[in-house]
Structure 1
Amino acid sequence: MSGPLYVPVLPARSHAAGAFRRLWPDVRAAIRPLWNLPPLPGATPEALATAVGKYVGPVSAASRHGGWLDAPFGEDAQTAALAEALFLFCELGWLRPVTGPERTVAQQAAAVETARRCLHGLGVRVWVTGEWDARLGEAVRVLLARTGPEVPVDLLLDMGAVLDDRPDAGKEALRALDALMPLAVWRSAVLLGGGFPRVTADMLEEGWCESARAEWRMWHEVRVTGRAYAPLLGYGDYGVQHPSALAQAPTPGSGGPPWGVLRYTTDRSYLLFKTLTRGPDRIAVNRSAARRIVELPEFRGAGAGQGEEWLSDCANGPLTTSKGVGGPREWLCAGNLQHMTYVVQGLSGG
Structure 2
Amino acid sequence: MLAAEVGKYVGPVSAVSRRGGWVDAPFGEDAQAAALTEAFLSYYEFGQLRPVTGPERAEAQQRAAVETARRCLRGLGVRVQVAGEWDGRLGEDVRGLLARTGPEVSLDLLLDMGAVLDERPDAGKEALRALDALMPLAVWRSAALLGGGLPRVTGDMLVDGSCEVPRAEWRMWHEVRATGRAYAAFLGYGDYGVQPPSALAQPPAPGRKGGPPWGVLRYTTESSYLLFKTLTRGPDRTAVNRNAARRITELPEFRGAGASQGEQWLSACANGPLSTSEGVGGPTEWLRAGNLQHMTYVVRSLADG
Q: Which amino acid aligns with 2:157?
A: M
> What stretches of structure 2 of length at least 5 have no aligned partner?
none
Query: For 1:59 and 1:160, how far apart are their aligned partners in 2?
Result: 29
Show the counterpart of 1:308: 263
Show the counterpart of 2:240: 285
Query: For 2:265 and 2:183, how far apart are their aligned partners in 1?
Result: 39
Query: For 1:340 and 1:228, how far apart are their aligned partners in 2?
Result: 28
Query: For 2:55 and 2:128, how far apart are their aligned partners in 1?
Result: 18
Show the counterpart of 1:166: 120
Q: Secondary structure at the match of 1:302?
A: coil
> Given the alignment of the two structures, is residue 339 of structure 1 paired with residue 287 of structure 2, yes or no?
no
Divergent runs of 4+, >6 A: none
Q: Secondary structure at the match of 1:147?
A: coil
Q: Which amino acid aligns with 1:128?
A: V
Show the counterpart of 1:62: 15
Offset of residue 308 of structure 1: 1.8
Q: Secondary structure at the match of 1:68?
A: strand
Contact 2:205/2:284 (CA < 8 Å) preserved in 1?
A: no
Query: For 1:323 and 1:315, how far apart are their aligned partners in 2?
Result: 12
Show the counterpart of 2:59: 105
Query: For 1:106 and 1:136, how far apart are their aligned partners in 2?
Result: 19
* Correspondence for 1:83 among 19, 23, 37: 37
Show the counterpart of 2:71: 117
> Given the alignment of the two structures, is residue 144 of structure 1 paired with residue 104 of structure 2, yes or no?
no
Q: What are the equivalent positions in structure 2 for 1:38-49 lying under 5 Å apart?
A: 47-49=1-3
Q: Secondary structure at the match of 1:189?
A: strand
Query: For 2:274 and 2:17, how far apart are their aligned partners in 1?
Result: 40
Query: For 2:234 and 2:58, how far apart are their aligned partners in 1?
Result: 49
**Mean CA deviation greater in 333-342 or 293-302:** 293-302
Show the counterpart of 2:85: 131
Judging changes above 3 Å, is the alpha-carbon distance between structure 1 residues 50 and 251 closer, same or farther for their aligned structure 2 residues?
Answer: farther
> What stretches of structure 1 of length at least 5 have no aligned partner?
1-46
Show the counterpart of 1:259: 214
Query: For 1:272 and 1:54, how far apart are their aligned partners in 2?
Result: 29
Q: What are the equivalent positions in structure 2 for 1:17-36 lying under 5 Å apart?
A: none
Show the counterpart of 1:192: 146
**Mean CA deviation greater in 263-272 or 323-332:** 323-332
* Correspondence for 2:224 among 269, 274, 297: 269
Q: Which amino acid aligns with 1:63?
A: V
Offset of residue 306 of structure 1: 2.1
Show the counterpart of 1:321: 276
* Correspondence for 1:73 among 21, 27, 32: 27
Offset of residue 75 of structure 1: 2.0
Show the counterpart of 1:349: 304
Offset of residue 252 of structure 1: 8.0
What whole-Å deviation, never above 9, does each CA across 1:294-336 have from its counterpart, x for those lacking one? Answer: 1112112222222222212211111111222111111111111
Q: Secondary structure at the match of 1:124?
A: strand
Q: How many residues align?
A: 303
What TM-score results when the alignment is normalised by the length of structure 2?
0.94
**Mean CA deviation greater in 216-225 or 82-91:** 82-91
Judging changes above 3 Å, is the alpha-carbon distance between structure 1 residues 240 and 141 closer, same or farther for their aligned structure 2 residues?
Answer: same
Show the counterpart of 1:244: 198
Judging changes above 3 Å, is the alpha-carbon distance between structure 1 residues 52 and 294 closer, same or farther for their aligned structure 2 residues?
Answer: closer
What TM-score results when the alignment is normalised by the length of structure 1?
0.82
Offset of residue 272 of structure 1: 0.3
Contact 2:113/2:147 (CA < 8 Å) preserved in 1?
A: yes
Query: For 1:51 and 1:287, how far apart are their aligned partners in 2?
Result: 33
Query: For 2:32 and 2:304, how far apart are their aligned partners in 1?
Result: 44
Query: For 1:251 and 1:287, how far apart are their aligned partners in 2?
Result: 21
Show the counterpart of 1:32: none
Q: Which amino acid aligns with 2:284?
A: R
What whole-Å deviation, never above 9, does each CA across 1:77-116 have from its counterpart, x for those lacking one? Answer: 3222222222232223221001111112222121111001
Contact 2:108/2:140 (CA < 8 Å) preserved in 1?
A: yes
Contact 2:206/2:283 (CA < 8 Å) preserved in 1?
A: no
Q: Give the percent of matched residue pairs that are identical in Structure 1 and Structure 2.
A: 79
